Every structure is written in C-alpha cells, then in structure tokens.
Structure 1
Amino acid sequence: MKKPQIFTLHFAGGNCYSYQFMKPALLDFDVVSVELPGRGRRMAEPLIRGFEAAAKDMFQQIVSQLTGSSFILYGHSMGAILGLKVARMLEDYEKKPSALIFTGHAGPKLVKYKNTAFLETQELKQVLLDLGGLPDSVIHNSELFSFFEPVIRADFEVAERADSYEFEPVDIPLHVVMGTEEDFSDKIGLWEKYTTSSFSKGLLSGDHFFIHNHICEIAAIAKSMLSKEG
C-alpha cells in the first residue's frame, strides 16, 4: 500500500538532510525532502535570493515528485513561510495538500531579526548562536563558516523578502507549533487568518529548534491531520 507523502521544506541554512532526525518517527510516511539550490544535492547550482523564486523552485520540486492525492507540507522557520506560498501555488494548480504543519514561525510579518542577510559576519554569527540552528563548532571555525555563510545569507534574504509579501489564505487545514521559549510564541494564533479551513496550534517546550526534542509529537500531529482528511 502506497504511503502518504510528507514534503519537508528546510529552514534558513538547511538542506535536504536537515530533517533526517525526524525520519524514524515518520515511518508511516514517504518523506520527501526538497531543497533550494546552492547546497546539499544541488551544490553546483546558483543560490536563490528572491522569495517568489524560492517558492516557485520548491513548488516545481513537489509537483514533479507527487505520487498521490494525500500529502502534507511541513516547514520550519523559513520553510514555514515558504510553505504557505507553496501551498497556495499547489492549490491554484489543483494539487492541494491534505494538511499543512508549520513550526518555529509566528506567522507572516512577525520576525525578530531585520536585515540579517546584510549583517557584518560577527553580528550574523551572534544571530545564529541565538537561534541555535548551526553547531557552535561550525560558527567558531572560520573556514567552515565561510563555506556556509553565503547559503545562510541568501536564505535570510529570501525569508526577509517575505515580510513585504501579501499572502492570500489557503483552504487547507493548518496546524502551527512553536517552542515555549521562542519570541512571539504567544502570537501564533495570528496564523489562523491564513486559512479558511480548520486551524489548530500548540506550544512545545524548548527554543527555536525545539523540534529536535519533539519528533514523536510532530509525527503524531501529521498522522492525526491526515486521519481527518475528508
């Protein structure tokens, strides 16, 4: 029997391997990891810095790999905000996701950092240390960091350009989760206006990358949302 798909959209600085840690909890799904160019399997391709261009790239990847009508989009942080745009594109293409699960983002227009893509290197490193997504060993190793820095800057530019984008609501069930220690976690209910379908939300203990400690909970949300389909 064919498994439902869950397409994962990575966070800033991430790649197709960013959610490997989740796979043991998602055995009921066919996990398909999409990634923007300039990293992972697409290292040789030029980086994207535009929000709409990034969304179009991910949309095309998803459409080309769809195997059935039941599938979920999952995105964390930048992946969440891209996920909303991609979901709308899929809906317009008549390939509507069964559900959306977004984590680590309080919704369009709500961001703590501004102009991060253009910070001096030391300031950028401090932002990354605050967020906790990149190992300290990478941030403090000049050679390693210089390898990741262009990708991180390009992704932050993508995410920041989303701030001026006017999102249209989708007609797709949406569940949003944030860490209890994240900025704006008390405002995640604002996501509700971006769907005309069912909306649910929750908080789990932790900081911006709380997902590493809550893979079973996220998998349970995915199963629950798919079971409500139809």
Structure 2
Amino acid sequence: MTQATGATPWFRNFRPAPQAPLRLFALPHAGGSASFFVPMATALSPAVDVHAVQYPGRQDRRAEPNETDLERLADRIAEALLARPDGRPYALFGHSMGAMLAFEVARRAESAGVGPAALFVSGRQAPCQDRADDWLPFTDEEIIEELRALDATSAGLLDDPEVQQMFLPALRADYRAVRSHHHRPGPPLRTPVTALTGDADHLCVPAKADFWREHTDGGFELHVLPGGHFFLADRLDEVAAIITGRLLHLSAVAA
C-alpha cells in the first residue's frame, strides 16, 4: 500500500517501515517517477524506510507543470524534506539526474544544519567532471534514440505515438534542466558518499564516478557492478546489500 509522507505531494512510501531507524529518500532519473523505486523499497523494507520522490508533471502529479530548472527543483525538494514532522535520521539516494539532485539537496540540508547520514549517487559522473560540451538529447527523435541506447524501455513502447506523448513531456523538461545546470564549486560535503555505476554504462564510466570522492570529506566508496545505465534493475539485491551494509557501518561508527 502506497502512503504519502505527511501532507506533502513530494514523497511516496510504497513499503512503509515505520519502525526502521532511518528513512531513505530516493530521487529518480530523467523522465522517471517515484514508482521506479518500488522494487528497491521492497528489497530494503523493513530495515530501511524508503520514500521515493515524485517530481511534478508525472503520474499522480501529471496536472502540474514540469520543473525545468534543476536548482529550483532541488530547492523545492529540500524544502519539503526539511519540513518533515519528525527528526528521524535520513539518507539520500539518486540515480542519474536524481544523483545530481540528491547532491544539491544534501548541500542545502547541510547548510540548514540537518545534513543526511549518507548520500548514495548512482549512474552519474561526479559534478566536477561535468563539461559544457557534454552531449544531451535535444529533439524528441534524439530522446527516443537515447532511450533505445540505454535500453530504458521496450522498443515496442518507444514506437507507440500515444506512449511517446505520455513520457516525452517529462523527458523534455528534465533534459532541459540538466542541460542548463552548471556545477557551482563549493566546500565538500561532510556527508559520506557512496557512488555506484555499471561497468558498461557509457554515461558514467567508473573513472568519472570515482571523482565523487572530491565532493566529500565524510568518507567515500565506489562500487562498480555488472550492467549498463539501468544496472539497478538487474542487480537490485547487490545494491540493497551495499545500501544496508553502508548504513549499518555508519550507524556503528556513530554509536
């Protein structure tokens, strides 16, 4: 049963684990929605209480306009996260575009004095490795071809004009947000960072993922798993083990 987190429209709790000592806020990729994290929520419950972020413009927020500014989207997510009714410790997990957002949310949370216990960044090169000339899809045709290359969904669905009109508006907005975003140099996070990537992910080769260590003073780990950009789907058990193992270790250190 899906539960909203309080009265906010931003978070979806697909497998409630109210007795878990920590919440994990999970931010999806470009074009993605909260339901992408149903399998992860299932794999981590009841040890971790997963709350998936629902961006505007998709699923039950479809009537709202898509956000096209990544900094503004990070502001809005951080505001909702910091307004939680309880002070339970939390961690952040982001995949691809969601990793960029999770990093920006962590920055804002640390500035407010309530940083996360851990930051997990998946399928995304480190911010210091972003380049102004990095190619991103622009036209609808390029977006569809990129989805084919990433094996993000079945070819039959990608060829269906009605289905295209369902997913293209969110992808247009998200790619626009990513294209216009430029990393702002600043002090490293105090939050421990764990980076994950697939060994066949052309969008996030391990060498560039390793540079996430430059963005934290709190400790760093890199995990390279078999698979492409969406290795999470095929390696969920290993990803869940990495998350729980890291959180248990950090909890033991804190204690």
TM-score by length of 1: 0.92
Shift >6 Å, 4+ stretches = none
CA RMSD, aligned part only?
1.8
- Which residue, out of 107, 124, 128, partners 2:147? 128
Query: Cα 1:208–1:42, aligned 2, differ >3 Å: closer, same or farther?
Result: same
Question: How far has the Cα of 1:147 moved from its partner?
Answer: 1.9
Task: Assess, with a 3 A threshold, how the Cα gap between structure 1 residues 171 and 94 changes in structure 2: closer, same or farther.
Answer: same
Q: 1:26 to 1:66 in 2, by over 3 A?
A: farther
* Alignment counterpart, residue 59 of structure 1, candidates 74, 78, 89: 78
1:40-189 matches, cutoff 5 A? 40-65=59-84, 67-108=86-127, 109-110=129-130, 114-116=135-137, 118-119=138-139, 121-162=140-181, 164-168=182-186, 169-183=188-202, 184-189=205-210
Supply the distance in 1 between the matched residues of 2:99 and 2:85 (Cα, whole angstroms).
19
Q: Extract unaligned runs of 5+ from structure 1.
A: none
Distance 1:153 1:84, change over 3 A: same
TM-score where L is the length of structure 2: 0.83
1:62-98 Cα deviation digits (max 9, x unpaired): 2233633421100000000111100010111111100
Distance 1:66 1:180, change over 3 A: farther
Q: Is 2:33 the counterpart of 1:15?
A: yes
Cα–Cα, structure 1 residues 221 and 51, in superposed 2: closer, same or farther, change >3 Å?
same
What are the superposed Cα offsets for residues 141-194 of structure 1, whole Å, 9 maximum, x if unpaired? 0111022111101011122223x2214321100000100001222321111111
Confirm or deny: 8 A CA contact 1:76 1:104 kept in the other structure. Answer: yes
- Alpha-carbon distance change, 167 to 73 in structure 1, aligned in 2, over 3 angstroms: farther
Q: Which amino acid letter does the alignment assign opposite residue 207 of structure 1?
A: G
Relative distance call for 1:64 and 1:224 in structure 2 (3 A) is same
Q: Pairwise mapping of residues 23-34 of structure 1 onto structure 2 (< 5 A)?
A: 23-27=41-45, 28-34=47-53
Q: Distance between the aligned counterparts of 2:152 and 2:63, measured in 1?
A: 23
Residues 1:212 and 2:229 aligned together: no
Q: Distance in 2 between matches of 1:90 and 1:52?
A: 14
Higher RCO, 1 vs 2 (CA within 8 Å, ≥6 residues apart): 1
